[in-house]
């Protein structure tokens, strides 16, 4: 069944919590797919392979995630570490795409 999960505040059972987590995970996967589509676009647009890695942009993205986490009351350092991994994985993917399309 593909029903809408309850909001966290409306959950009364662990089954409801798990349904919400599972739905959220599916939504995150769709967002990751979208993010990686942008990596493919970047690989297509960037004329030079060396332009794929942009340390200033990487730092800005991670800092923004940390600031967003802090505002949301989430663990800033852990979110920044997660984003570090996400950005590095994105860079690796973009490099593969750049190589594949040239």
Cα(101)–Cα(44) distance, integer angstroms:
7
Q: Is 76 annotated as a binding residue?
A: no
Q: Hey, how many other C-beta atoms are within 10 angstroms of the C-beta on 83?
A: 20
- C-beta of residue 64 within 8 angstroms of C-beta of residue 80: no
Q: Is 44 annotated as a binding residue?
A: no
Q: Is 18 annotated as a binding residue?
A: yes
Q: Hey, how many other C-beta atoms are within 10 angstroms of the C-beta on 76?
A: 16
Distances (CA, A) of 19 to 4, 12, 22, 68: 9, 12, 5, 25
Q: Is 46 annotated as a binding residue?
A: yes
Q: Which residues are annotated as a binding site?
A: 18, 35, 46, 94
Q: Which residues are annotated as a binding site for substrate?
A: 18, 35, 46, 94
């Amino acid at each position: 069944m593909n029903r809408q999960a309850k909001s966290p505040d409306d959950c009364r059972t662990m089954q409801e919590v798990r349904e919400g987590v599972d739905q959220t995970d599916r939504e995150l996967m769709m967002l990751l797919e979208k993010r990686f589509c942008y990596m493919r676009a970047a690989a297509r647009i960037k004329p030079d392979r060396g332009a794929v890695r942009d340390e200033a942009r990487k730092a800005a993205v991670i800092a923004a995630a940390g600031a967003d986490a802090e505002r949301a009351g989430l663990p800033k350092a852990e979110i920044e570490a997660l984003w570090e991994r996400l950005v590095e994985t994105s860079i690796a993917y973009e490099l593969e795409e750049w190589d594949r399309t040239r």
